[in-house]
Structure 1
Amino acid sequence: MARAGGERSQRREGPECGRAGARAGRPGLSLSRSLSQQQQPRLGRRDFRLARYPSNHPKRSASGRGSKGRGGSSRPRRQLPEAFPGRSKPHRGALLRRLRPAALPGRSPASPQPAVPDCGRARSLAGAPVLPSSDRLGVPSVRRSAVAGVRARAMAAVELFSHPALLTRYRAGLCSAAALALLLITGLTYVPPLLVAYRSHGFWLKQSSYREQPTVRFRYEVLFVATTGPSPGSFLAWSTFPAFNRLQEDRLRVPLLSAREEDKNQDGKMDQLHFKLELPLQPTEHVVGVHLILLFSYQLYRMSTLVMQSMAFLQFFSPVPGSQLYMNGDLKLNQRQLLNHCGLDTRYNVSVVNGTSPFASDYDLMNIIAAYRERNVTTVFSDPNPVWMTGRVTDTPFIINATIRYPVEVILYQPGFWEMIKFAWIQYVSILLIFLWVFGRIKMFVFQNQVLTTTPVSPVLPVSPVLSYKLHQS
């Protein structure tokens, strides 16, 4: 009892008890309490109390025989609690043999062994080194500490590069040489393609074009002047403007007109105009030159809406008097300025000839042509291919036959912002792909071969459930 009481007092001493036991140098100590703690989940409270004493201790033997207690009175034996409900109770002798300390050299198993108190840390026999729990599991503690330090530094750094094929992420600090090199490589990857695309011309789309057949309609407004001689007043004139006709006096001659527009492909837009003018002449009058102005309404709708009034100017001169003039040409659009990509443009939706003016200067052909050519968007009667016929019979009129076609036009316009970005992006990306491939290989070589110091972090692969079980030898 005294020894048991001493063991209890030694167990309460705390951290000093371990050092005292180590200084004692007793090689025969066993970890009876440590063993009882390992068996505690499977044993009852009484078996844990008995495990504190050696096998030959009077209390263990007395309790095992059911001896009487203090005063000679017999106490009823306590029932051991079931560690595993539903199973048969283990034999008490088997439990005591499991808790009995192992025999050491030079000491019999039945001899009493003083118990060394446990202070919360694992102990071994005297003279053996104290090993941490990681060594008992087979993983060196130094290696685990190094791995933990590397992971902590990798978590503090920034991920600079990763590649799906490498399955490794490379980390480094923001101010490290690897981060500066990565910044330089990134700049060399994205900036030079922009310079190459810009210096190769055509990077920004400044103008674009599209094809459209305009909507052209003849306005049935005509100004006609026929030259009959070399003298300044030798001409005949007529127009659809009453003010101009009043200014002509005796030089006014009313012709016979016929006009017909034709839609050949049945698309809802007129394709050509057939125009015929018959000018009656006296037997002594001869025509050596013709000036003819035909006015049209011209409209475009595909990109920007352009509405304007235009004209076709036909003229021809010959030293030999003629009887008939034939022309066949196209009414072409002439642009000195790009159209907008959207919106409504009605700047030139005014008459080419000011038919309400009472002044003769407003009907002068030079003034009309000069004012019309000031426009940035006009129409021109191109490729007329004139045919002059002579030998007019007496009392027959002078005839003008003209066929004016409305062809499909190539419209020039200034592209919008998103269209410019689209074409610039195509050129930039086509050059960027080459730089991305080249510098991608360079980055992979630098980080994979550790040309610059980084911390590679490999992914933690899941452990196979087959390898997680302990193999037992048969």
Structure 2
Amino acid sequence: MYEIFSECVMYRYNSRFCSKGTIFVFFTTILTLLFPLMFTYKSHGFWMKTATYQEKPDVHFKYEYLFILQTESLDSLIICSTFPYLNNLYKDKNSCPIIKVREEDYNRDGYNDILHFELEALLENNENVYGITLILLFDYRLYGHCYLEMESLGVIQQMTSVPGSRFDYAADLQLLQKFPLHTKFHNTFYKKSIFHSKNFNIRDILKDYAARNVSTHLVNSYSVWSYGRAAIDPFIVSAQISYPSVTVMYKPGFWQEIKWAWMQYFPVLFPFILLFREIKRFIFSNHIIHTKKDVQWQKIS
């Protein structure tokens, strides 16, 4: 035997507006929408509080620095900087005649990739170096999903009990955030100069800098402290600072929140739609709730 024709039968269940059937359908519809909402919300994935993205920062060395070289005593302290106030205050202790700075863009994408900084400090024949502090200032900018413009620091410190002749240092300049950035306005609060006053107390400056919401610090650092300086040789500091891509944390906007919430809600909603549809089919087909049943034929072939 061959099937030469087929048709489907669809049952329609009708009821008055103020009836048990209408009330039952109303509550099942509410539960169908409410249960997935409660499930996704309680699973701590419904709303995006923060989001992240990758970006290559636009970093420029500001050609501003503060270098402190610690010798045997505080009286023989050597301070070199680009700040006129410090240079006038410690003019007798400023003995850094040679400074070499070079920034390179290896991949030719318009963004600097690395900074080469080298400094030579002249010493007396009987002076020995036991520690250094080097603070480099950068102009740090982000142009992607979040706009950020700020002045930031790279702090290098080294102390030892053995006098040295050279210090080599390599690290990455990494973005540090305590709270997510906002995408609705430009984040330029930290654009002001860090050394904005005559208060050059290193402890106060670093404490204020550490309290910032957005800053930079040096990570993935490697250093070599060389010994055995000749009497006439200068003390050399060589630093190589890389500018890698960073992960930026930000607060999502309204439409991104809605898109993410819908993606979490719909996969849970679909099974509940099927479940309550079968419940309604069982209730009405077995006449547990009284309704008017109509038959409608549908031709499919």
TM over 0.5: yes
Decide whether the 8 Å contact of 1:300 with 1:306 is kept in 2: yes
Q: For the Cα contact (< 8 Å) 2:10–2:298, is it kept in 1? A: no
CA contact (8 A) 2:71 2:128 kept: yes
TM-score, scaled relative to structure 2? 0.92
Partner residue in 1 for 2:279 = 442
In structure 1, how many angstroms separate the alpha carbons of the residues matched to 2:298 and 2:128? Answer: 106
| Aligned-pair CA distance for 1:184 | 2.3
Supply the AA of the counterpart residue of 2:274: W
Residue identity matched to 1:430: P
SS of the equivalent of 1:233 reads: helix
The answer to whether the aligner puts 1:252 opposite 2:89 as a matched pair is: no
Query: What is the match of residue 226 of structure 1?
Result: 69
Say which of 23, 35, 43 aligns to 1:200.
Answer: 43
Q: Does 1:405 align with 2:230?
A: no
> What secondary structure sits across from 1:210 in the alignment?
strand
Alignment of 1:273-288 (within 5 A): 273-288=115-130
* Matching residue within 164, 176, 189 for 1:347: 189
Match of 1:309 among 132, 146, 151: 151
Distance 1:443 1:374 in 2: 60
Identity of aligned residues (%): 39
Q: Distance in 1 between matches of 2:98 and 2:190?
A: 30
What are the Cα deviations for residues 237-293 of structure 1, in whole angstroms up to 9, with x where unaligned? 111111111111422223311111111122111111111111122211111110111
Structure 1 Cα separation of the partners of residues 9 and 286 of structure 2: 12
Q: Secondary structure at the residue paired with 1:433? A: helix
* Contact map agreement 1:222 1:240 (CA 8 A) in 2: yes
Residue 379 (str. 1) matches residue 221 (str. 2): no
Q: Is the 8 A contact 1:324 1:390 kept in 2?
A: yes
SS at match of 2:101: strand
Note the alpha carbon deviations across 1:441-463, whole angstroms, 9 max, x for none. 1222323343322122334889x
Show CA shifts across 1:186-218 (max 9, x none): 122111111111111122110110111111001
Q: Which amino acid aligns with 1:302?
A: G
Residue 14 of structure 2 aligns with an amino acid whose one-letter code is R
Tell me the distance in 2 between the aligned counterparts of 1:250 and 1:188.
81
1:188 aligns with 2:25: no
Normalized per residue, the structure richer in helix is: 1
Q: Structure 2 unaligned runs (5+)?
A: 1-7
The letter of the residue matching 2:254 is F
The answer to whether the Cα contact below 8 Å between 1:277 and 1:400 also exists between their aligned partners in 2 is yes
User: Larger relative CO (CA 8 A, sep 6+): 1 or 2?
Assistant: 2
1:220-246 deviation line (CA, Å, top 9, x unaligned): 0011110111x3333101111111111
Compare the two structures and name the one with the higher strand fraction. 2
Answer with 294-303 or 436-445: which moved more.
436-445
1:414 Cα deviation (Å)?
A: 0.7
- Distance 1:427-1:461 versus aligned 2 partners, 3 A rule: closer
Q: Secondary structure at the match of 2:180?
A: coil
Q: How many angstroms apart in 1 are the aligned matches of 2:108 and 2:271?
A: 51
SS at structure 1 position matched to 2:31: helix
- The 1:448–1:387 alpha-carbon spacing in structure 2 relative to 1, beyond 3 Å, is same
Q: Distance in 2 between matches of 1:318 and 1:255?
A: 25
Residue 372 of structure 1: how far off its partner (Å): 1.4
Q: Identify which of 14, 17, 28 aligns with 1:174.
A: 17
Are residues 1:327 and 2:169 paired?
yes
Q: In the TM superposition, what are the counterparts of 1:457-468 in structure 2 within 5 Å? A: 457-459=294-296
TM-score calculated relative to the size of structure 1: 0.59
Contact 2:140/2:152 (<8 A) preserved? yes
Find the structure with the greater CA-based Rg: 1
Amino acid at match of 1:191: L
The within-5 A match list for 1:289-304 is: 289-304=131-146
Partner SS, residue 111 of structure 2: coil
Q: What SS does the aligned partner of 1:281 have?
A: coil
Distance in 1 separating the partners of 2:297 and 2:147: 65
**SS at 2:75 equivalent:** coil
The residue that corresponds to 2:55 in the other structure is 212
**Counterpart of 1:406 in structure 2: which amino acid?**
Y
5+ residue gaps, structure 1, are: 1-164, 463-474
Matches within 5 A, 1:64-213: 166-213=9-56
User: Following the alignment from structure 2 to structure 1, what is the Cα–Cα distance between the partners of residues 43 and 204?
Assistant: 46
Look up the equivalent residue of 1:346 and give its one-letter code.
T
Q: One-letter code of the match for 1:413?
A: Y
Deviation at residue 298 of structure 1 after TM alignment: 0.2
Equivalent-residue separation in structure 2 for 1:179 and 1:240 (angstroms): 81
Q: Distance in 2 between matches of 1:250 and 1:274?
A: 27
Change in Cα spacing, 1:293 to 1:166, as seen in structure 2 (3 Å) is: farther
Aligned-partner Cα distance in 1 for 2:29–2:211: 53
Structure 1 176/166 Cα, relative in aligned 2: closer, same or farther at 3 Å?
farther
Distance in 2, matches of 1:371 and 1:364, equals 11
Report the equivalent of 1:38.
none
Query: Is contact 1:236-1:251 (8 Å) kept?
Result: yes
Per-residue CA shift, 1:298-324, capped at 9, x if unaligned? 001111210001010111011111010
Please report the RMSD computed on the Cα atoms of aligned residues, expressed in angstroms: 1.8
